[in-house]
């Protein structure tokens, strides 16, 4: 395994890898000694200077958001790697166990909302809906965004919404039926709310479908949870007690998702799937 971050000091990278206020301490004993230690190689080089094959890397998980198109990703591929998985504007997008055979690992927002939207649509039919995602502030929120107001104190404010439209790329039948927005706030959570059509209470069918195709990613709970309870949870979890219904055809459903730990698990799932196929 090799890790590269061209934007920060090498020793600092090792430090933040060890200590995380949300996920806790990483208990391995790697040290920065010429960029190497026993279990993995860590570096802070320009991508132009990385020869991935020398580190034994066949697959690249590109998480810097610098390589946002397939053309830019080619800078990695020229060093002999088999595949690059990256957030991309023009690569096919998928969510595991939904359309993974069709590579862009989608986003944490899409991974939270798509499984539930897909399940509801297949069992009841969605005429139209709005998705509202509420998630914790991230390192990409702030001065780098186009809106000036994003440069104000992230911990003291709720940022204006940005579009969340990727569900239609994963489930084509829902393209133009669902759209949404996302808010950045201080607490760390992922919240999904969607109006949808239903004939039988969705929570009943989701609960009964223990052998459903999405069972590895779509969880179910009736317990009274708060956002912190989903820390390090790997599911997109349907909260049966939190939704409300206006009438038989207009409901709000709530799904929780750990946008870091849960998304990383799906990223590894995708990597293993591609390795098996190759």
What does the pLDDT look like over 117-157, one tens digit per residue? 888 888 888 888 888 877 776 655 555 556 666 667 666 77
- Which residue among 92, 122, 139 closes a domain? 92
Question: Which residues does residue 237 pair with via DSSP β-bridges, in sequence order?
Answer: 219, 256
Per-residue model confidence as pLDDT tens digits over 92-111: 655 555 444 334 555 667 77
Please list the rounded mean pLDDT of every run of 10 residues in the chain (278 residues).
Answer: 75 81 71 48 61 78 73 74 72 53 56 78 83 71 59 70 62 79 61 40 59 67 79 73 78 80 77 74
Joined together, the tokens standing for residue 132 give: 């509202």
pLDDT of residue 170: 65
Clarify whether residues 83 and 115 are in a common domain. Answer: no
SS (H, E, C) 5-62: CCCCCHHHHHHHHHEECCCEECCCCCCCECCECCCCEEECCCHHHCCHHHHCCCEEEC
Whether residue 178 is contained in a domain is answered as yes
Same domain, 87 and 141: no
Is 50 contained in some domain? Answer: yes
- Average pLDDT score, the chain: 69
CATH number at residue 141: 3.30.360.10
Looking at the fold, whether 128 and 235 belong to one and the same domain comes out as yes
Pairing of strands 59-61, 83-85: parallel
Q: Report the predicted TM-score, pTM, of the whole model to 2 decimal places.
A: 0.66
Inter-CA distances, 108 with 72, 134, 164, 259, Å: 22, 12, 11, 5
- One domain for residues 114 and 87: no
CA-to-CA distance for 268 and 252, rounded, in angstroms?
A: 31
* Number of structural domains in the chain: 2
Q: Are residues 155 and 228 in the same domain?
A: yes
Burial class (CB in 10 A: 0-12, 13-18, 19+), 4: buried
In this prediction, residue 103 carries a pLDDT of 47
Hey, which residues are catalytic here?
A: 108
Domain edge (last residue) among 92, 123, 152: 92
Report if residue 272 sits inside a domain.
Answer: no
Range of the domain at 15: 2-92
Burial class (CB in 10 A: 0-12, 13-18, 19+), 204: exposed
Specify whether 241 is located in the same domain as 182.
Answer: yes
229 and 139 in one domain? yes
The verdict on residue 270 lying in a domain is no
| 65 lies in some domain | yes
Residue where one domain finishes, among candidates 92, 116, 140? 92
Residues 85, 113, single domain; the answer is no
């Amino acid at each position: 395994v090799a890790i590269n971050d061209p934007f920060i000091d090498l020793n600092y990278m090792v430090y933040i890898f060890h200590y995380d206020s949300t996920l806790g301490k990483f208990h391995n004993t790697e040290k920065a000694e010429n960029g190497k230690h026993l279990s993995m190689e860590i570096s802070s080089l320009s991508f132009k200077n990385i020869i991935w094959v020398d580190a034994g890397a066949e697959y690249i998980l590109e998480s810097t958001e610098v390589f946002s198109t397939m053309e830019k990703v080619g800078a990695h591929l020229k060093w002999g790697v088999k595949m690059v998985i990256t957030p991309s504007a023009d690569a096919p997008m998928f969510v595991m166990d939904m359309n993974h055979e069709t590579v862009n690992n989608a986003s944490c927002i899409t991974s939270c909302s798509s499984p539930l939207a897909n399940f509801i649509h297949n069992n009841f039919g969605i005429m139209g809906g709005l998705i509202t995602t509420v998630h914790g502030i991230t390192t990409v929120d702030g001065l780098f965004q186009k809106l000036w107001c994003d440069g104000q104190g992230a911990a003291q404010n709720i940022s204006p919404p940005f579009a969340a439209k990727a569900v239609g790329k994963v489930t084509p039948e829902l393209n133009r039926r669902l759209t949404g927005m996302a808010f950045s706030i201080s607490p760390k959570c992922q919240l999904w709310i969607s109006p949808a059509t239903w004939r039988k209470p969705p929570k009943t069918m989701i609960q009964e479908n223990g052998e459903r195709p999405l069972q590895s990613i779509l969880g179910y709970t009736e317990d009274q949870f708060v956002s912190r309870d989903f820390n390090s949870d790997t599911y997109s979890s349907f909260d049966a007690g939190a939704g409300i219904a206006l009438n038989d055809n207009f409901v709000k459903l709530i799904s929780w998702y750990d946008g870091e730990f849960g998304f990383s698990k799906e990223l590894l799932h995708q990597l293993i799937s591609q390795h098996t196929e190759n």
